[in-house]
Amino acid sequence: MISMEYIITFKNTNWAIKSEQYLLAEKLQVKVMPLPAQISAGCGICLRIPAAEMETALDILTARQVEGVGLYTRVEADRGYRYSEITQR
């Protein structure tokens, strides 16, 4: 079974930390992680979130007026992960 998660990137670390707090306050399963080398956008950290919670997370970030958000899929691939940017919601 292939599990898919999402990576949310931010234009700066401050937005990443605030966003983590917003999402955790809503009881979402969010993990902070270093920005993968395959992703060149954003600051040095990002948030990983399960696919089932992605829409809710984006709705929360939009309501909180978080700026500079990028979204990527994260899928297990040969001995690692493959990341793909999502350009539209």
Element (DSSP H or E) covering residue 5: strand 4-9
pLDDT in tens, 56-71: 999 999 999 999 999 9
pLDDT in tens, 38-54: 998 889 999 999 999 99
Q: Which fold has domain 5-86?
A: Alpha-Beta Plaits (3.30.70)
Answer yes or no: pTM beyond 0.85: yes
Q: What angle do CA 33, 43, 68 make, to 5 degrees?
A: 110
Distances (CA, A) of 18 to 38, 61, 74, 76: 24, 10, 22, 28
Instruction: Enumerate the domain spans of the chain.
Output: 5-86
Scanning the structure block, which residue is given the tokens 């919670």? 53
